[in-house]
Amino acid sequence: MKVLVTGGTGFIGSHTLVELIEAGHDVVVVDNLVNSSAESLNRVAQITGTEPVFYEGDIRDQNLLLDIFGKEAPEAVIHFAGLKAVGESSSKPLEYYDNNIAGTITLLKAMKESGCKNIIFSSSATVYGKPESVPIREDFKVGEVTNPYGRTKLMIEQILQDIYAADNSWNVILLRYFNPIGAHKSGLMGEDPQGIPNNLLPYIAKVAVGQLDHINVFGNDYDTKDGTGVRDYIHVVDLAYGHVKALEKISEAPGLKIYNLGTGNGYSVLEMIRAFSKACGRDLPYVIADRRPGDIDVCYADPALAKKELGWEAKRGIEEMCEDAWRWQSNNPTGYR
């Protein structure tokens, strides 16, 4: 299938390109490089032998999108493009709503005008807010989100549901990701955050490579096995492959579907520090710091629906996630730059 991948030079997008190409799909990428580097596409080419077709530009640019749909005629869109820093979204809400919501609306209008009505959207476990219990199923209540970033995910889910309700010829798959980490096995591709990382694993990786001094553990008084926050970390290559399976599903015209992409296992911050310490061969220093506002204690998926309906499940454990992240970080201490 020919697929337009928005945000395809980013962390999850670039790994998904590899899996799509290896599964025999044709990919076209649009990205404005606001949080990524086009070098990731060279790495995709190195791994797969195929250079993705790339349009550098913004998904809010309707003329660019119509031009891409006209020239490339993709049959489906995988929509990754968006801003994703939770803290920044609270200080720059307008930028987040404009980029994520207006960007998605512009994309959907161009899709409608071009007759492409198949979309897979990158949503997040953040839409569940603080879950009443774990593991989290897709039919759990959504909506009590504490930050503008999360609200953009929720709003886009609602927009897509409304579009489907008005016109059943659309096929919409909402993928709710848990915590993607790790890197491609080759060590050529991985996560490349700008500045000081917001998320735990890239932060640990920067401590491991000597660019940051120690890890701050945000709270050790949560109601969890060791008091630190528990999350469902998923290898980015497993997550990427989930998109290949979602694309197969979309070709069956499934209507509207929602799937969690997670492993079903929860690990604490301290467990992740230990796993990464093992991968890099030294004990990484950490200090216990205050809780981070908005954080919840435990979040992990029930991934049974994706297994049943997509035939997908995560295969890689935290050891492999940390080893692969470490290979990428130690081979590329300054990322793609």
User: Which residues are part of the catalytic machinery?
Assistant: 149
32 vs 268 by CB, closer to ligand UFG: 268
- Residue 283 C-beta: closest distance to ligand NAD, Å: 26
Q: How far is the CB of 235 from ligand UFG (least distance, A)?
A: 15
Q: Find the residue with minimal CB distance to ligand UFG.
A: 229
- C-alpha 232/C-alpha 318 separation (Å) is 10
Please, which residue, 55 or 312, has the CB nearer to ligand UFG? 312
253 binds, among ligand NAD, ligand UFG, none (CB under 5 to 8 A by kind): none
CB closer to ligand NAD, 128 vs 170: 128
Instruction: Name which of 109 and 285 has its Cβ closer to ligand NAD.
Output: 109
6 neighbors 79 (Cβ within 8 angstroms): yes
Q: Which residue is nearest to ligand NAD (CB)?
A: 10
Interface positions with ligand NAD (CB under 6 A): 7, 9-13, 31-36, 58-60, 80-84, 99, 103, 122, 124, 177, 179-180
Closest alpha carbon to 288 in 215, 231, 226: 215
The verdict on whether omega for the bond into residue 74 sits within 30 degrees of 0, i.e. cis, is no
Q: Which does 122 bind (CB under 5 to 8 A by kind): ligand UFG, ligand NAD, none?
A: ligand NAD
Residue 131 half-sphere exposure toward CB, CA atoms < 13 A:
20
From the list ligand NAD, ligand UFG, none, pick the one residue 180 interacts with, judged by a Cβ distance below 5 to 8 Å according to partner type: ligand NAD
Q: Residues interacting with ligand UFG, by CB under 6 A?
A: 84, 86, 124-126, 177-179, 198-200, 203, 216-218, 229, 231, 269, 292, 295
Q: Which is nearer to ligand UFG, 271 or 309 (CB)?
A: 271
Q: How far is CA 298 from the centre of its chain?
A: 19
- Using H for helix, E for strand and C for coil, what is the string for 43-74? HHHHHHCCCCEEEECCCCCHHHHHHHHHHHCC
H or E, element range at 261: strand 256-261
Contacts of 58 (CB under 8 A, 6+ apart): 32, 64, 103
Minimum distance from residue 9 beta carbon to ligand NAD (Å): 5
Length of the chain: 337
- Structure-block tokens of residue 295: 């954080």
Query: CB 130 → ligand UFG: shortest distance, Å?
Result: 12
Task: Report, in Å, the least distance between residue 323 CB and ligand NAD.
Answer: 19
61-68 — which CB contacts under 8 Å span 24+ positions?
61/106, 62/106, 62/109, 62/110, 64/30, 65/30, 65/106, 65/107, 65/110, 66/110, 66/113, 66/114, 68/4, 68/28, 68/30, 68/110
Q: Smaller CB distance to ligand UFG: residue 54 or 218?
A: 218
* Partner touching 156 among ligand UFG, ligand NAD, none, CB below 5 to 8 Å by kind: none
Smallest gap from residue 47 Cβ to ligand UFG (A): 26
Cβ-proximal residues to 150 (8 Å cutoff; 6+ apart), any chain: 86, 89, 124, 126, 127, 129
User: Using CB distances below 5 to 8 A depending on partner kind, what does residue 86 bind out of ligand NAD, ligand UFG, none?
Assistant: ligand UFG
